[in-house]
Amino acid sequence: MVRLFGPLVGLFFAVALLWSFGNGAYSAITEPAAPTAEHEFHLHPKDVKFASDGVFGKYDKQQLQRGFQVYKEVCATCHSLKHVAFRDLANLGYSEGEVKAIAKQWGTKQPTFDEKSGERAERDNIASDYIPTVYYAGQGVPPDLSLIAKARHNGGAYVYSLLTGYQEQPAELLKKFPDSKTPDGLYYNPYFANLNLAMPAPIASDDQVAYSDGTKATVDQMSKDVSAFLMWTAEPKADKRKQTGWAVLGFLLAATVLAYLAKKNVWADKH
Amino acid sequence: MSFPWANEYKPAFGLTQWLDEKLPLPRFVYNAVGAGYPVPRNLNYMWNFGVLAGFCLVLQIVTGVILAMHYAPNALVAFDSTEHIMRDVNWGWMMRYAHANGASAFFVVVYLHIFRGFFYSSYKAPREMIWLLGVVIFLLMMATAFMGYVLPWGQMSFWGAKVITGLFGAIPVVGEPLQIWLLGGFAPDNAALNRFFSLHFLLPFVIAGVIILHIWALHIPGSSNPTGVEVKAESDTVPFHPYYTAKDGFGLGVFLLIYCAILFFAPNALGHPDNYIPANPLSTPAHIVPEWYFWPFYAILRAFTYDFFFIPAKLMGVLAMFGSILVWFFLPWLDTSPVRSGHYRPLFRKFFWFGLIPTMAILFYCGGAPAEEPFVMLSQLASLYYFAHFLIILPLVSSIEKPEPLPFSITEAVLGKDESAVLNANPAAA
């Protein structure tokens, strides 16, 4: 029975697939897919190095502090960071007192609700609070940035490329795709998936942020610092993960060598 | 059942003798994976993957139970509770990465286990039942993995759930009500997430049960081996312990080295970045793709792009995708060659290495690629070969192929032929 029906079922699927293939090939020849501006002008992230790259990489805490400053003074106006608590900032090298001060002075306050009176109010943030959500009144929804570096391919380089990638729309693009002119209120950026995004270049000029550690606050430097900071917010345990990994691999390597020798020993008389 | 020369369990201590009378559990283990189970002496490293798959199941259950202590299966908080595990739970990041990459590792070893079965025809009599139970385990694994991927409630979780449950909608007449009933709503939401969590917790224990049946069925004929020649005498076998426990120990070490290298140094390499974006029913990702281990089957699903007579393309895709695995159930009766091992089957071997393996590679690649040309046409041709291989080529090859001569016994295959022992080969001695 199986030998009778098997080939018939096989033929059925084969013919159905040939039918799809033939139709697909015909329409691919008669009406080839039109090229799109996204396809031709979208760029992969720039090649940029971070201290945390690679299996030996570690976060540069000085850079993360600068990046946090850029986030606080530039990005935090519109973008939330809701998975990060103020207490987490201690991992960037801030002292307990500094963390408390950062929380207390944070621009967006912590909303409160009094169940007895039904009144809504606000209070200062404390170290154990998560960074409060920003309510953005303008058009569009600025994404929460906590995980942005893991939510895009090659996320750290992506954020850096996006921040430094704003430019005039190339004349070549307009010539080839006259309908793809960047609409009013959007900004051209080839590192963004559909080339036009609602966010104007947030880091526009040197010294937009005043660094206290003597680093020159160029647009490039600030973009790199905030990208490094967002890589940390996305994966705060990366340093510990790699450190643990080396210990685990070291143990496993020794154990595997022993297991190999044991295997050889046991099998010595059977080969 | 076992071979007559199997070692017998002899409890040495008062306590173990007492236990052997009341509940002979140590005897059971001794006969299953101890010195009481004689195994062919010539197994190669492809025979390590059964034990590794068992290890992966235990790993997934242990890490999964711990994750479930901190995870909240509610559409409002599921994504945040996953991040809570990653950030605030002690060693939570390690548990979650171990579990997510553990699923990938499980599929890697199971795929190698299945391909071992394909090449050495482990599915042939008298081992059909082991194979059938294995396919059941694989189907259960697919269901479990799919539902597990939905739990973090990221973009790919949501849209993956939508696409896969949408497959039921392709069934004529009852499809749409069935889909709504399965989801508990018109789209994946809290009801779906909750039942997926419940089933994701349950199914691994069902898998464990079927694995017990799988091993039980294995112990009746005993393990197959690379020559495909059945065990004839005691010299063909060695006791499982210490010979294969030692060999599996080494295999486990190599496996753990690779697995931990990925876990600790590239834990997101096998995942999709979109799953770090919270589920949003209003924003469809540019490319919806499942996890890598489903790519070959996803390619078959998407290969049907035109209605075939009165059968809608979507239904054809669903039938083919499920059919591509169900066909494995019939392998023992499609491949009728009396020779098991691919080593002695010249024609079968060609179709295996130059047909099936490249086809699987193409399907794998196309399943992960966007649904554009040339990937669609490639996956159509590869799917065509896939079905032809199992349903047409394999039966044909079995009947026309002339197999190469088999070794007389496993011992001969390992130690070489003893010319003086062959009757009439040495007339001077006679």
Give the residue on B whose Cα is nearest the Cα of A250.
B257
Is A83–B380 a contact, with Cβ atoms under 8 angstroms apart?
Answer: no
Is B373–A28 a contact, with Cβ atoms under 8 angstroms apart?
Answer: yes
Q: How far is B35 from chain A (nearest CA, A)?
A: 13
Kindly report, residue by residue over B337-395, the tens digit of the pLDDT. Answer: 999 999 999 999 999 999 999 999 999 999 999 888 889 999 999 999 999 999 999 99
Tell me the mean pLDDT in the region B66-92. 96
Is A3–B333 a contact, with Cβ atoms under 8 angstroms apart?
Answer: yes
Chain A CB within 8 Å of residue B281 CB: no
Question: How many beta-carbon pairs below 8 A join chains A and B?
Answer: 162
Is pLDDT of B424 > 60?
no
Is B264–A19 a contact, with Cβ atoms under 8 angstroms apart?
Answer: no
Chain A residues closer than 8 Å to B253 by CB: 252, 255-256, 259-260
Three-state secondary structure call for residue A163: helix
Q: How far apart are CA A196 and CA B372, in angstroms?
A: 23
Q: Which structural domain, as residue segments, surrounds residue A106? A: 40-205+212-236
Q: Which candidate from A9, A236, A266 shows the least CB-CB separation from B242? A: A266
* Residue B255 CB neighbours (<10 A): 22
Strand bridging mode A120-123 / A110-113: antiparallel
Q: How far apart are CA B378 and CA B295, in angstroms?
A: 14
Kindly report each contact of residues B142-145 with a partner whose C-beta sits within 8 Å and lies 24 or more positions away, as own/partner: B142/B294, B142/B325, B143/B199, B143/B203, B144/B199, B144/B200, B144/B203, B144/B204, B144/B207, B145/B103, B145/B106, B145/B107, B145/B291, B145/B293, B145/B294
Paired with A120 in beta bridges are: A113
Interface of B with A in 321-380 (CB under 8 A): 323, 327, 330, 333-334, 336, 372-373, 376-377, 380
User: Is position A12 within any domain?
Assistant: no
Chain B residues closer than 8 Å to A151 by CB: 273-274, 276-277
User: Is position A63 within any domain?
Assistant: yes
Name the average pLDDT for chain A.
93
Chain A CB within 8 Å of residue B419 CB: no
Interface test with A, best of B88, B94, B265 (most A CBs within 10 A): B265
Give the residue on A whose Cα is nearest the Cα of B244.
A263
Q: How far apart are CA B211 and CA B144, in angstroms?
A: 15
Signed CA dihedral, A224, A228, A234, A235: sign only: positive
DSSP B386-401: HHHIIIIIHHHHHHH-
Is A20–B392 a contact, with Cβ atoms under 8 angstroms apart?
Answer: no
Chain position carrying tokens 């088999």: B406
Helix, strand, coil shares, percent, chain A, to 5: 50, 5, 45
Is A6–B320 a contact, with Cβ atoms under 8 angstroms apart?
Answer: no
Paired with A85 in beta bridges are: A130
Chain A CB within 8 Å of residue B45 CB: no
User: Is position A142 within any domain?
Assistant: yes
From first to last of the 271 residues of chain A, give the pLDDT tens digit: 787 888 999 999 999 999 999 999 999 889 888 888 888 899 999 999 999 999 999 999 999 999 999 999 999 999 999 999 999 999 999 999 999 999 999 999 999 999 999 999 999 999 999 999 998 888 778 999 999 999 999 999 999 999 999 999 999 988 999 888 888 889 999 999 989 999 999 999 999 999 999 999 999 999 999 999 999 999 999 999 999 999 999 999 999 999 999 999 999 988 6
Three-state secondary structure call for residue B143: helix
* Residue A140 CB neighbours (<10 A): 12
Is A10–B372 a contact, with Cβ atoms under 8 angstroms apart?
Answer: no
* Number of domains forming the structure of chain A: 1
User: Is position A88 within any domain?
Assistant: yes
The answer to whether residue B248 is catalytic is yes
Chain B residues closer than 8 Å to A256 by CB: 250, 253-254, 256-257
Q: How far apart are CA B137 and CA B214, in angstroms?
A: 9
* Sequence-ordered alpha helix ranges (H) in B46-154: 49-68, 78-87, 92-119, 128-150
CATH number at residue A114: 1.10.760.10
User: Is position A20 within any domain?
Assistant: no
**CATH 1.20.810.10: which residues of chain B?**
41-288
Chain A CB within 8 Å of residue B246 CB: yes
**Confidence label for B422 from pLDDT (cuts 50, 70 and 90):** low
Q: How far is CA A80 from the centre of its chain?
A: 14
Chain A residues closer than 8 Å to B316 by CB: 16
Chain A residues closer than 8 Å to B254 by CB: 256
Chain A CB within 8 Å of residue B218 CB: no
Q: Which candidate from B377, B384, B395 shows the least CB-CB separation from A6? A: B395
**Confidence label for B420 from pLDDT (cuts 50, 70 and 90):** low
Q: How far is CA B129 from the centre of its chain?
A: 16
Give the residue on B whose Cα is nearest the Cα of A245.
B264
Q: Which candidate from B256, B311, B391 shows the least CB-CB separation from A10? A: B391
Interface test with A, best of B59, B306, B316, B325 (most A CBs within 10 A): B306
Q: How far apart are CA B290 and CA B299, in angstroms?
A: 11
State how far the alpha carbon of B112 is from the alpha carbons of A107, A197, A212, B347, B353, in Å: 56, 45, 57, 22, 14
Q: How far apart are CA B212 and CA B133, in angstroms?
A: 10
Q: How far is CA A122 from the centre of its chain?
A: 31
Name the average pLDDT for chain B.
93
Which run of H or E residues covers position B201? helix B190-219
The answer to whether residue B219 is catalytic is yes
Kindly report, residue by residue over B148-201, the tens digit of the pLDDT. Answer: 999 999 999 999 999 999 999 899 899 999 999 999 999 999 999 999 999 999
Strand bridging mode B38-40 / B237-239: antiparallel
Is pLDDT of B134 > 80?
yes
Q: How far apart are CA B15 and CA B12, in angstroms?
A: 9
The pLDDT, as a whole number, for residue A32 is: 85
Q: How far is CA B44 from the centre of its chain?
A: 19
**Closest listed residue to residue B354, CA positions, set B323, B397, B389:** B389
Give the residue on A whose Cα is nearest the Cα of B256.
A252
Give the residue on A whose Cα is nearest the Cα of B254.
A256
**Confidence label for B430 from pLDDT (cuts 50, 70 and 90):** very low
B117 touches B130 (CB < 8 A)? no
Chain B residues closer than 8 Å to A242 by CB: 264-265
Q: What percent of chain A has pLDDT over 70?
A: 100
User: Is position A117 within any domain?
Assistant: yes
User: Is position A154 within any domain?
Assistant: yes
Chain A CB within 8 Å of residue B276 CB: yes
Q: Which candidate from B243, B276, B277 shows the least CB-CB separation from A270? A: B243
pTM check: above 0.90: yes
The answer to whether residue B247 is catalytic is yes
Q: What is the dihedral of CA B106, B108, B114, B118, to 10 degrees?
A: 180
Interface test with B, best of A1, A4, A13, A195 (most B CBs within 10 A): A13
* Residue B118 CB neighbours (<10 A): 20
Chain A CB within 8 Å of residue B412 CB: no
Q: How far apart are CA A88 and CA A91, in angstroms?
A: 6
Q: Which class in CATH covers the domain with range B41-288? A: mainly alpha
Kindly report, residue by residue over B91-101, the tens digit of the pLDDT. Answer: 999 999 999 99
Q: How far apart are CA A36 and CA A45, in angstroms?
A: 20
**ipTM metric:** 0.94
